[in-house]
Amino acid sequence: MTTGTVTPNLQANVEAARRRRARMAEEQRLNKMVRVLVTPEGAELHLKLATAAERAGAFAIDVAIQWAIVIASLFGLQAIAGPFGLGAGTNIAFAFWLVFFFFVRNFYYIFFELGRKAATPGKRALGLRVISRDGGRLTANAVLARNFTREIEIGLPVQFLLMGGDQLGAWIALFGLLWSGIFLFFPVFNKDKMRVGDLIAGTWVIRAPKAQLLTDISQVVIKAPRTSLFNFSTEQADAYGIHELHVLEDVLRQSTPEIKAQVAARIRTKIGWVMVPGETDIAFLEAYYATLRRRLEQRMLMGDRKTDKYDVRK
């Protein structure tokens, strides 16, 4: 990345180097969230831990659902017991509702996490699931352990927050809040994003969203008859690396025609491509994608991963 000439180019290079460093730092940060699980077949699965923010989001959804259940059941009870007035039935119904409330409060998570998807509705909505840290099966004991501690992680700080009263009480509440805050913010402060419950149950929460298998972009090129239009030289195919290939894949899969046109223009300048008659941006990008991927995959087979365009080892 050294440049000899002091031109406006230099500034652009400095900017590019800064961006590259930022990108690599981000990659490293994401890699820290990956845990490798070796299956009995000897294959590696890369599991991505859920972030604290995702966990909090899932929890918020679950709490909303719990409240909805509790309130709906209370109204339902009132509707049934209402016509009979404050008679004998009301108290018994209320007694059952109290027990029901206890079970919704404490067993909502357990019920869903023992299920096939090992996730509550909130976790499912965000594509999360609970797994055992050692990769073995998630036992009922573990699910119980991780959920019985919820009371001190969430309930305790809330209780201290609502406490108060005289000066002494306020001091106790403040101290209690700080103390119980340790439990509440536990997931933020450890690298595995574990709650206290996860810690004592030997579990953690991973992101396992369902991905769709899309069509291979190079397929279009292979099947199209016009591919002979594009004959890129080896130098042109060596202009970019794996990072740019992946960015190009994203651009082709999900960006607007304007962005595609801009990207095509930049690549043409970079590799010094002269437009041939009848060439469209998309056809050019797809053809270049296929060429670049072929070149990079060939090099990868020889044990040579060209990470990005700055990687100029021969």
Partner 1 sequence: MSDMLKSYRFREEREADWRKLDLILTRAENSGVKRMSDEDMTALPHLYRQAVSSLSVARSISLDQNVITYLEGLCTRAYFFVYGARTTMGERMAQFLRADWPEAVRGAVFSTILAALFLFGGAALAFFLCLQDMDWYWTINGHSFFETRTPDASYETLRATIYTEPGDVGQDQLSAFSSYLFNNNAQIALFAFALGFAFGIPTAWLLVWNGVILGSMYAVFWDKGLGYEFTGWLLIHGVTELFAIVLAGAGGFVIGGAVAFPGRRSRLASARDAGRKAATIAMGCVLMLIIAALLEGFGRQLINSDTVRYSIAATTLVIWMGYFYLPRRRTSA
Least distance CB 2 / partner 1 (angstroms): 28
**DSSP secondary structure letter of residue 272:** T
Percentage helix, strand, coil for the chain under 3-state DSSP, each rounded to 5: 65, 5, 30
d(CA 135, CA 285): 42
Give yes or no for residue 121 binding partner 1 (CB under 8 A): no
Is residue 39 within 8 A of residue 47, CB to CB? The reply is no
Give yes or no for residue 30 binding partner 1 (CB under 8 A): no
Site string for partner 1, 128-147 (x = CB under 8 A): -x-x-x--xxxxxxx-xx--
The piece of 3-11, 50-58, 216-224, 276-284 that touches partner 1 (CB under 8 A) is: 216-224
Q: What's the distance, CA 171 to chain centroid? A: 40
Among 84, 96, 175, 189, which residue sits at the site for partner 1 (rule: CB under 8 A)? 96
Give yes or no for residue 101 binding partner 1 (CB under 8 A): yes
d(CA 223, CA 286): 12
Give yes or no for residue 294 binding partner 1 (CB under 8 A): yes
Q: Are strands 34-38 and 44-49 parallel, antiparallel or unpaired?
A: antiparallel
Which distant-in-sequence residues (6+ apart) come within 8 Å of 126 by Cβ?
A: 50, 54, 57, 58, 61, 207
The piece of 20-28, 53-61, 209-217, 272-280 that touches partner 1 (CB under 8 A) is: 209-217
Give yes or no for residue 307 binding partner 1 (CB under 8 A): no
Q: What's the distance, CA 52 to chain centroid? A: 10
Site string for partner 1, 242-271 (x = CB under 8 A): x--xx--xx--x------------------
Q: Which is nearer to partner 1, 151 or 279 (CB)?
A: 151
